[in-house]
A and B are shown apart, each in its own frame.
Chain A
Amino acid sequence: MKNSIMLAVVLSATFALNACKQNPSETSQSGNTESIAVKGNAEEAKLTSPPLVPEPIGNRAAKKLIVRLETIEKTGELSDGTQYNFWTFGGTVPGSFIRARVGDEIEFHLKNNENSTFPHNIDLHAVNGPGGGAEATFVAPGKEAVFNFKALNPGLYVYHCATAPVGMHIANGMYGLILIEPEGGLPKVDKEFYIMQGDFYTKGKYGDKGIQEFDMDKAIAEHPEYVVFNGKTGALLGDNELKVKVGENVRFFVGNGGPNLTSSFHIIGEIFDKVYIEGGSKINENVQTTVIPPGGASIVEFKATVPGEYVIVDHAIFRAFNKGALGKIKVVGDDNPKVYKKNN
């Protein structure tokens, strides 16, 4: 058992090394970032709850950034009339969105709320260092841990809890996104949103009312009752649907907390003009559906050209219609018959 895991580790390390060799330009790009100097006084980062994201970093220089995040265990709605004991970063699923730039030196405070029952920690995929900060942030209820890291690689990264049993902490909602913008910032767009998919394993079946407990066996079998965007079935529906105007350029920061399922992220009736593949620096164009693995993310962009309601789905389509992986974005404005016209 142990040997096979060692073998897997060695193999994946080899792959990783080879991958670096194949992209010398990118390696050098991220290699330089270690020497970026920080300017000015330390500043408190402003975090946001989904579906909102903080202000873009724009042209600012790298600086010292203080990030404060709290782990909170709380009961919330998973679906209409169905409650769940969520474990969260910042009180929401997914957790608060963190936005920084490459070269920033981040002083990260993780507090575990005093009313928590369980210990927690955080593994930020944006960190170069043991456990992504997990070792340094292991906190008992009521305690706070602090660690520092310098953001070396631009990209959109998942963060999650890595306390045993890891699967259970993630399954209960302990994940979120941290964006490290490149020097000069991402190109300007008109609207930005934060969406994260997650699968939930409840004792009762999909739609059963009342408080639902975590079902360990279903989690191990990878058979979720719910697959949702932003922590509940209606998070992006009704009053909560996203709204943009015709002609606007729209950017989604999309993550997948898992713990188990890979997302086939798709917007019905839209084509992604740009996809930052796996949340990294490579851009693909004209994409219909993008794959987002658990613990991975993607930045997708499109121009809203035709008014209407567009449905956001995991295109593994039973999840959308039978398990909750459904959201909506409404595009308002004048008709655009040249691009789309319905003939009666």
Chain B
Amino acid sequence: MRNLIYILVLFFSISCSEKQDQKQPKPVSRILTPVADTKKMQKIEGGSYKPFVGKETDSLVKVKTFYLDETAVTNAEFLTFLKANPQWTKSRVLRLFADSTYLNHWKGDYEIPEDVSPEAPVTSISWFAAKAYAESVGKRLPTVDEWEYVARADENNKNAAATPEFTQRILQLYQQKLMYKKPVKQSNPNIWGVYDMFGTIWEWTEDFSSVMMSGESRKDNTTNETLFCAGASVTSSDLKNYAAFIRFALRGSVKADYTINNLGFRCARDAEN
């Protein structure tokens, strides 16, 4: 049913744009063309962890074993995707799936901006675009739980979240500017072999909006009992985890068509049983 609506919307958008603009080239296919992907993935052993917000924070959440890209998807990789899938280029993307700043800094449909490394993470892409890319390479976006589960690790520990220095270091990394222009692998990999979880870009997750954070971060929102309250969250499992507060605030501030300078993604895949 959902797919049908999807197709209908696509159909209407295409037919409308045809009527309005005679110069528009022939409508491109909206069907995703598979793309070969050689990116190294790391196996993340499953386990349980204490989520930061949005769930019963007294209980542990299980994360199944999965694979995660060792770095964010790069401009070069995204360019390969665009060449196979011109419907996702900046001139042809449907406004429904990406707002007006989609690939803002790219000069043309297939031109990575000069001051940005081809090996830098692709940014200014919407959730829809990230999801399409992931599907084209036979993967998916990681869930918030998967992402946060990996984000607890430092170079030596799978769970470093309890050490105050860890949070302080992440806050430092978050303060760096314009890191999205630099190649991936800016820092040493964590114990899983995963690079740059912090301080280069924000990353889309499959269910980024499942933990809604309203703009009013100091009180409960009636639509979601597990939200933020009175200066911080009474339901947060770790009031001192400012780094996590920041990530959840960012996730709460975006919509699926948003494109932002420093928001990119990496892909995940289920482990075979």
Contact = CB atoms under 8 A, between A and B. Distances in A.
B214 A135 contact: yes
A140 B258 contact: yes
A134 B171 contact: no
Nearest to B242: A165
A69 to B, nearest CB: 15
Contact of B240 (A2, A121, A143, A220): A220
Nearest to B214: A135
A126 B233 CA distance: 25
Contact of B229 (A5, A114, A134, A142): A5
A85 to B, nearest CB: 5
B101 A135 contact: no
Given A119-B249, A167-B231, A220-B240, A141 B260 contact: yes
B175 interface: yes
A120 to B, nearest CB: 9
B87 interface: no
Contact of B216 (A140, A142, A162, A168): A162
Given A138-B252, A142-B101, A164-B248, A214 B215 contact: no
Interface residues of B, number: 40
A217 interface: yes
B228 to A, nearest CB: 6
B101 A138 contact: no
Nearest to A85: B175
Given A138-B215, A216-B167, A216-B240, A164 B246 contact: yes
B250 interface: yes
B164 interface: yes
Interface in A201-226: 213-217, 220
A135 B232 contact: no
A135 B216 contact: yes
A5 B230 contact: yes
A117 B254 contact: no
B218 interface: yes
B231 A115 contact: no
Interface string B139-163: 0000000000000000000000000
B166 to A, nearest CB: 12
A263 interface: no
A5 B234 contact: yes
Contacts of B248: 164
B219 to A, nearest CB: 7
B256 to A, nearest CB: 12
A168 B245 CA distance: 10
B110 interface: no
B218 A118 contact: no
A118 B246 contact: yes
A140 B124 CA distance: 12
B48 interface: no
B250 A162 contact: no
B187 interface: no
A140 B219 contact: no
A140 B253 contact: yes
Interface residues of A, number: 38
Contacts of A115: 177-178, 261
Contacts of A24: none
Contacts of B134: none
Contacts of B228: 164
Given A117-B177, A163-B249, A165-B245, A217 B164 contact: yes
Residue of A8, A131, A136, A163 most packed against chain B (CB within 10 A): A163
A142 B260 contact: yes
A17 interface: no
Interface in A106-147: 114-115, 117-119, 121, 130-131, 134-143
A1 interface: yes
B172 interface: yes
A140 B260 contact: yes
A118 B173 CA distance: 13
Contacts of A19: none
A164 B168 contact: no
Contacts of B246: 118, 164-165, 168
A166 interface: yes
B238 to A, nearest CB: 11
Interface in A41-66: none
Contacts of B234: 1-2, 5
A216 B216 contact: no
Contacts of A85: 175
A213 B177 contact: no
A213 B167 CA distance: 13
A9 B249 CA distance: 24
A130 B174 CA distance: 30
Given A168-B242, A214-B175, A2 B229 contact: yes
User: Which 9 interchain pairs have the tightest Cβ spacing?
Assistant: A138-B215, A119-B253, A131-B216, A164-B217, A140-B253, A165-B245, A164-B245, A135-B216, A135-B215
23 contacts: A5-B234, A115-B261, A117-B174, A117-B177, A117-B262, A118-B249, A119-B253, A131-B218, A136-B215, A138-B216, A140-B250, A140-B253, A141-B261, A141-B263, A164-B213, A164-B232, A165-B232, A165-B245, A166-B218, A166-B232, A213-B171, A214-B175, A216-B167
